[in-house]
Amino acid sequence: MENTLNSIIAAAAPLVIMTMGESITEKSGVVNLSLEGSLRLSAMTGFAVAFWAGHAFAGFVAAAVVGAAIAAIIAATSIRLRLNQIAVGFVLTLLAADLASFLGDSLVGERGPRVPPLPIPVLSDIPFVGKVLFDHDLVVYASFLAIAVTWWHFYRTRSGLNLQGVGERPEGAFARGIKVNTLRFWYTVLGGAMVGIAGAAYSLDIKLGWRETLTLNLGWIALAIVIFGGWHPLRVAFGAYLFGALQVMAFQLQDVFPGLAQVLPIAPFPLMILALVFVYSSWFRRIGDRLPRVRNLFGSEAPAALGTVFERE
Amino acid sequence: MALEIRDIHKHFGPVRANDGVSITVGEGSLHGILGENGAGKSTLMKILSGFYEADSGAVVLDGEVLTLRSPADAIAVGIGMLHQDPLVFLPFTVLDNFVLGSPGPVRLDRSNARTELERVSTELGFSFDPAALARDLTVGERQQLEITRLIWLGARVLIFDEPTTGISATQRIQLFATLRALAEHGMIVLFVSHKLEEVEELCDSVTVIRRGKVVFEAPMPVAPELLVEEMFGKVFVADEREPVALGGPVLRLESVSVDDGKTHLDALDFEGAAGEVVGLAGLEGSGQRTLLRACAGLLTPTAGHLSVDGVDLTHVSYRGHLAVGVHYLPAGRLEEGLVEGISVTEHLVLTSHDRRFLVDWKGAEAAADRVIDEYSIKGRPSSPAEALSGGNQQRLLLAMIPEDVRLLLLEHPTRGLDVESAAFVWKRLLERRTDGATIIFASADLEELLTYSDRIVVFFGGSVFAVRDTASTDGEELGYLIGGKERV
Ligand SMILES: Nc1ncnc2c1ncn2[C@@H]1O[C@H](COP(=O)(O)OP(=O)(O)O)[C@@H](O)[C@H]1O
Ligand SMILES: [Mg+2]
């Protein structure tokens, strides 16, 4: 049991980092639709750089730069040229994915450096909890930090509130003296860098090595998890762990029930859709009106200005 | 302290929204900025508050020329603006709306902010539930929240852009009291309006803007005819209403219950006769909108029967309602009534009865030209809906009402319109009445209700509170009824 939980948390770590990144970007009102491509290109770049430099850390830095650069293109074309974020994101998805396959061809089958395990002394000796939470490597600890910091930033800091204001009603934020487009640009870049880090985590930590199908569909899944998680860091993280759990279960059941193992990883989606139906029902609305806490916990609403362009006149 | 606006110019493409505006306002004055829709008032105020940058000209406060590159600059020198539509964040709490954008340390100290909110709002005579969502506040309360916030941030010059649009009569009285108190405390209050009565009632000096230029300036009081003449460039006389004999019942509601998720109307009986105009009064959200939407077929009654001309429509769709001559004009002209991005011609084609597969664009354009002429719409057949001003959007919507309409449902038909457009709208509407249509309209304007209705239905707290024949009531009584009290 504790081993299974340990595997789930480790398996979900890149997904957690990526979904936190995308949540930050989308809270500011920008959609980075390129995750599927960004992830693949940064996984490849991360592996390549780590392979040549002989050090995993260099790979992570390079991957973060790749993710940030793609995100910067989306933010800049939207802000400066008023291009549609969805269209640009989609084109970049295709472009980055193809580029990764093309440039990474010679790396397939190579073995590179990996992120070393780093059990936390004392804490990892706690029975059960130690094994589940503290017997991991830096990537996993970074994923914990990502959840905590994202949550804290959204709900407990001034800049986090401003960030949400920018995504909700940019004219309102602007009227209060907030630099809407500057914030949007940098939060998009930050989110993109986190996607890049997730990419490197797949090729240097989870799977070790590069091949074209390494991160197949995970970018799209991350986008879906952000939506179904209602842009709330804790619920998004829950979604990522749920997906991780099903992946691990599928892997463990592969030999016993091969059919079930194939279906399991898509099981969260019908569940998520049911959850949405529930949250939007009038029945839930009535409960929410009476118990605001319940509403805050389950209610999910897209940032109202998501995907739009803000200009002052 | 004195505020001086010097020779401000601002153009949008070919439109000179502000064409050399200069105004000086002294400490403690409540200054009215009066002008017809599209005169350039909002543009000037947005320049003052840093939302827009002027092409040329200067803003001087206390003898110091200000650099207003962004709202942050304006707030820093103490200029705050309440926008026409309060720029609050609907899904956020009152408290978060209060602190959003305020300076301070990284960690947000909400308990301290709550104390501050309480302190400033009590000083101003407002009270808020900090945990309530801004979405659940009325427009009037959203304004109060914005005022509280701006005062807290140290505003000395407060700009109110058309603040009475969309608030109830009682809230308006409270708002005016607040504005007077602010001016008494030495602030400069700029009150922007296109409503003459409001400026007369409230302001101690006035500037009239017409087509981007200052055309008149004076301390109040000023003869109203003079102000109207300055606003429009010509004197305008409202038409008297001709009496029309009422016919048989058109709309009939028999113990109808209906629920839109927010307000619930219970067992309502109601009849509207041919040629009758029924006004629906009440605070926003008291049930008027629910009734209109049920009659339009947008809400299905949970009990009872609804019929038009004897045809049972209780469980009939919106389309079915259209087919028997029910027509609904919602308040959100651009949100629900018109389609952004499509032109006047295209709107008219969409609503025409022409069922041929290919559109005759030449003919349609000629038809659009005729409509533009007939309804004096300021625009071209190719103008997209959002490029028209509010008054002209409403004229276009009027032109889209079918000939054979039996029941006309209107929500705030003249909200935000200048006097001239409003009178035009009503002239056209009343023509429908002569053809035997029933008109039901909701309005927050007592004057409008009393002028145009035969009967007034007052809603309070989600049910019909009182029904009065217009001839037997007056503004004072309506004021009581809307507040849920009988006149004592
Ligand atoms: N952002 C904008 N872009 C283009 N034209 C504008 C814009 N804002 C206002 N205008 C035009 O400038 C003129 C003045 O508008 P406005 O200042 O809103 O008038 P008012 O507030 O007096 O009704 C109008 O003709 C309007 O169409
Ligand atoms: Mg205006």
More confident residue, B386 or A147: A147
User: Does B38 contact ligand 1 (Cβ within 6 A)?
Assistant: yes
Q: What angle do helix axes A2-27 and A218-228 make, rounded to 10 degrees? A: 80
Say which residue the tokens 């709306």 belong to. B97
Chain A CB contacts of B100 under 8 Å are 161-162, 165, 173, 176
Would the pLDDT of B442 be above 50? yes
Would the pLDDT of B235 be above 60? no
Determine what percent of chain B is predicted with pLDDT higher than 70: 96
Decide if B281 contacts B168 (C-beta within 8 A): no
Supply the pLDDT for residue B232: 67
Chain A CB contacts of B92 under 8 Å are 164-165, 168
B45 CA closest ligand 1 atom index: 17
Bond prior to B105 in cis (omega within 30° of 0): no
Q: pLDDT, tens digit, for every residue of A121-132?
A: 999 899 999 999
Rounded to an integer, what is the distance from CA B104 to the centroid of its chain? 36
Average pLDDT on A139-162 reads 96
- Closest of A3, A2, A38 to residue A18, by C-alpha: A38
What is the rounded CA–CA span in Å between residue B356 and residue B342?
20
- Closest of B40, B49, B50 to residue B12, by C-alpha: B40
Its ipTM equals 0.89
Q: pLDDT, tens digit, for every residue of A103-112?
A: 999 988 888 8
B44 CA closest ligand 1 atom index: 17
pLDDT band at B222 (very low <50, low <70, confident <90, very high): confident
Residues near ion ligand 2 (CB < 5 Å) are B 42
Decide if A113 contacts A137 (C-beta within 8 A): no
Would the pLDDT of A82 be above 80? yes
- For residue A33 the two structure tokens come to 């639709």
- For residue A29 the two structure tokens come to 């009102």
**Closest protein CA for atom 20 of ligand 1:** B38
Decide if B206 contacts B41 (C-beta within 8 A): no
Task: Give the number of other CB atoms < 10 A from CB of residue B210.
Answer: 18
Q: pLDDT, tens digit, for every residue of B14-54?
A: 778 899 999 999 888 999 999 877 788 999 999 999 999 99
Q: How far is A174 from chain B (nearest CA, A)?
A: 7
Rounded to an integer, what is the distance from CA B91 to the centroid of its chain? 22
What is the rounded CA–CA span in Å between residue A29 and residue B156?
33
* Residue A232, C-beta contacts closer than 8 angstroms, at least 6 positions apart: A23, A300
What is the rounded CA–CA span in Å between residue B377 and residue B397?
11
Kindly tell me the burial class for residue B392, based on how many C-beta atoms sit within 10 Å of its own C-beta (0-12, 13-18, 19 or more): buried
| Apex B207 CA angle, B201 and B209, nearest 5 | 115
Burial letters for A128-142: b for 16+ Cβ neighbours within 10 Å, e otherwise? eebbbbbbbbbbbeb
Q: Please state whether beta strands B2-12 and B15-26 pair in parallel, antiparallel, or not at all (unpaired).
A: antiparallel
Supply the pLDDT for residue B54: 92
**Residue B19, phi-psi category: left (phi > 0), alpha (psi -120 to 50), beta (remainder):** beta
Average pLDDT on B151-175 reads 88
Sequence-separated contacts (24+) of A129-136 with Cβ below 8 Å: A131/A2, A131/A3, A131/A5, A131/A6, A132/A2, A132/A5, A132/A6, A132/A9, A133/A9, A135/A6, A136/A6, A136/A9, A136/A10, A136/A13
Supply the pLDDT for residue A297: 66
Q: pLDDT, tens digit, for every residue of B383-402?
A: 888 878 777 888 888 888 88
Task: Give the number of other CB atoms < 10 A from CB of residue B186.
Answer: 11
Side by side, which strands form the sheet with B326-329?
A: B326-329, B407-411, B438-442, B277-281, B455-460, B463-469
Model pTM score: 0.74
- For residue B34 the two structure tokens come to 């009066």
Would the pLDDT of B238 be above 50? no
Task: Give the number of other CB atoms < 10 A from CB of residue B414.
Answer: 23
Q: pLDDT, tens digit, for every residue of A61-71?
A: 999 999 999 99
Handedness of CA B84, B87, B92, B96 (dihedral sign): negative
B18 CA closest ligand 1 atom index: 14
Supply the pLDDT for residue A111: 86
**φ, ψ for residue B226 (rounded to 5)?**
-65, -45
More confident residue, B371 or A293: B371
User: Does B40 contact ligand 1 (Cβ within 6 A)?
Assistant: yes
Ligand nearest the Cα atom of residue B34: 1
Supply the pLDDT for residue B237: 42
Supply the pLDDT for residue B38: 75
Say which residue the tokens 């860091």 belong to. A233
More confident residue, B458 or B380: B458
Q: pLDDT, tens digit, for every residue of A170-192?
A: 999 999 999 999 999 999 999 99
pLDDT band at B75 (very low <50, low <70, confident <90, very high): very high
CATH 1.10.3470 applies to domain A2-298: yes
- Closest of B170, B94, B84 to residue B135, by C-alpha: B94
Whether residue B107 and residue A301 make contact (CB cut-off 8 A), yes or no, is no
Would the pLDDT of A21 be above 70? yes
Ligand nearest the Cα atom of residue B85: 2
- For residue A299 the two structure tokens come to 């209610």
What is the rounded CA–CA span in Å between residue B197 and residue B96?
36
Supply the pLDDT for residue B354: 65
Supply the pLDDT for residue B241: 62
Whether residue A172 and residue B105 make contact (CB cut-off 8 A), yes or no, is no
Supply the pLDDT for residue B109: 93
Supply the pLDDT for residue B266: 86
**Closest protein CA for atom 27 of ligand 1:** B38
pLDDT band at B170 (very low <50, low <70, confident <90, very high): confident
Handedness of CA B327, B331, B335, B339 (dihedral sign): positive
- For residue B159 the two structure tokens come to 């700009």
A313 CA closest ligand 1 atom index: 1
Supply the pLDDT for residue A246: 87
Average pLDDT on B258-268 reads 83
B136 → chain A, closest CA residue: A289
Supply the pLDDT for residue B196: 80
Q: What is each CA distance from B454 to B105, B242, B404, B448, in whole angstroms?
A: 59, 12, 22, 12
Task: Give the number of other CB atoms < 10 A from CB of residue A14.
Answer: 32
- Closest of B462, B484, B466, B482 to residue B257, by C-alpha: B462
What is the rounded CA–CA span in Å between residue A38 and residue B311?
60
| Apex B246 CA angle, B245 and B249, nearest 5 | 165
Q: What is the mean pLDDT of chain A?
A: 90
Supply the pLDDT for residue A296: 66
Mutation test residue for ligand 1: of B8, B23, B42, B207, the one with most atoms within 8 Å of CB: B42
Q: pLDDT, tens digit, for every residue of B342-386?
A: 888 888 888 776 667 777 788 888 888 888 888 888 778 888 888
Chain B interface includes A306 (CB < 8 A): no
The DSSP secondary structure of B223-291, one letter per residue, reads -HHHHHHHHHSS---PPPPPP----SEEEEEEEEEEE-SS-EEEEEEEEEETT-EEEEESSTTSSHHHH
Whether residue B100 and residue A176 make contact (CB cut-off 8 A), yes or no, is yes
What kind and span of H or E run contains A25? helix A2-27
Supply the pLDDT for residue B282: 82
Asked which of A65-74, A265-274, B343-352, B414-423 is least confident by mean pLDDT, the reply is A265-274
Supply the pLDDT for residue A202: 95
Would the pLDDT of B152 be above 90? yes
What is the rounded CA–CA span in Å between residue B102 and residue A158?
8
Q: What is each CA distance from B241 to A72, A97, A138, B272, in whole angstroms?
A: 63, 71, 80, 19
SS3 content of chain A, % helix, strand, coil (to 5): 75, 0, 25
What kind and span of H or E run contains B329? strand B326-329
Q: What angle do helix axes A35-53 and A2-27 make, rounded to 10 degrees? A: 120
Decide if B134 contacts B89 (C-beta within 8 A): yes
Domain assignments of chain A as residue spans, ordered by start = 2-298
Average pLDDT on A45-60 reads 94
Mutate to test the interface with A, among B47, B73, B89, B299 (most CBs of A within 10 A): B89
Q: What is each CA distance from B315 to A91, B50, B256, B305, B312, in whole angstroms?
A: 47, 52, 12, 9, 8
More confident residue, B263 or A8: A8
Chain A CB contacts of B261 under 8 Å are 282, 285
Would the pLDDT of B236 be above 50? no
Decide if B268 contacts B455 (C-beta within 8 A): no
Chain B interface includes A290 (CB < 8 A): no
Q: What is the mean pLDDT of chain B?
A: 86
Rounded to an integer, what is the distance from CA B371 to the centroid of its chain? 25
Would the pLDDT of B165 be above 50? yes
